[in-house]
Amino acid sequence: DSGVTQTPKHLITATGQRVTLRCSPRSGDLSVYWYQQSLDQGLQFLIQYYNGEERAKGNILERFSAQQFPDLHSELNLSSLELGDSALYFCASSVDNRNTEAFFGQGTRLTVV
Amino acid sequence: AQSVTQLDSHVSVSEGTPVLLRCNYSSSYSPSLFWYVQHPNKGLQLLLKYTSAATLVKGINGFEAEFKKSETSFHLTKPSAHMSDAAEYFCVVTYAGGTSYGKLTFGQGTILTVHP
C-alpha cells in the first residue's frame, strides 16, 4: 500500500458527461501529480500541484481541470467526455517539489460509453 | 526538454536467467532516476531510485540499476528472473533544474515476460 488513495476505482459514464476523480496523498506529502495511462499514449503527465498551487502542466486538455485543496487532497475534473478519454488515471504524491520519488495510487479506471 | 528512452518495448526471458531492461536519459542538469513496476491492473510501485549518491543502486525484489553518466544510461538488472517479475517496467527521470524541474517523465515502458 503506497498510502495514496484514489476514488472511485472504476467509473463508467456516457459521452458528454462530467466526472470528478479524487486523490488523497500520503500523509506529509505536499506535491500531487495526475497521470493518464492509455494503450496508445502510454503514461502521460497531466498536471502537478504543490501545496495548493499549480506547478507544472503537461498534456492536459482544456476540458480537464484540477485543483489541490487546503487539506492537500486533489480532484481532477473531466468534462464533455469523449470515448477517447477512456483510460486509467493515476494520482501520485511526493514529499516536495524537487526530484524525489513519487508514490502512486491504484488508479481510477474511466470508461466512457 | 527532458526525455527518457526505454530501448526495448518487450523483453522475454526464461525463469532463472538474468534480466536486463535498458534505459537512456537526456543529459541535462542533475538527473534523478527511478524504476517503477506495474503489474496487470495494479498501480505503479517504486523499485529503486538514484539521486546522486552511489551509482549502483539496489532495489526491492533483487533488482538493481547502475547510473552511468558517460553513457547516460540507467539499466535495470536482476541476476535470476522469477515468474512473479512478469510486469511492465518504467524508467523515470526528473531534474533538479531547468523548465522541467520536479516533473517526472516516464519512458514508454518495457513489458517483461518470464517463461517457465
- Read off the pLDDT of residues B66-97 as tens digits, 9 standing for 90 and up: 999 899 999 999 999 999 999 999 999 887 66
Strands B64-68 vs B73-78: parallel, antiparallel or unpaired: antiparallel
Asked if the bond preceding A8 is cis, omega within 30° of 0, the reply is: yes
Across the interface, which of A2, A45, A104 has its CB nearest the CB of B103?
Answer: A45
A34 CB contacts (<8 Å, ≥6 apart)? A23, A45, A46, A47, A48, A60, A66, A74, A76, A89, A90, A91
Place of cell 498551487: A53
The C-alpha atoms of residue A82 and residue A85 are separated, in whole angstroms, by 5
CA distance A29 to A91: 12
Element (H, E) at A104: strand A103-104
Contact at CB, A56 and B94, closer than 8 angstroms? no
Residue range A23-34, pLDDT digits in tens: 999 999 999 999
What residues contact B57, with CB distance under 8 A and at least 6 apart?
A: B48, B49, B50, B64, B65, B66, B67
Which residues in chain B are closer than 8 Å to A98, comparing Cβ atoms? 96, 101-102
Give the nearest chain B residue to A97 (CA atoms): B102
**Chosen from B103, B105, B106, B111 to mutate, greatest number of chain A CBs within 10 A:** B103
How confident is the model over B50-55, as a mean pLDDT? 82
Pairing mode, strands A31-38 and A42-50: antiparallel
pLDDT digits (tens, 9 = 90+) for A6-63: 999 999 999 999 999 999 999 999 999 999 998 888 888 899 999 999 988 888 999 9
For residues A102 and B36, give the distance between their C-alpha atoms in angstroms, rounded to a whole number.
Answer: 10
**CA of A79 vs chain B CAs: smallest distance (Å):** 24
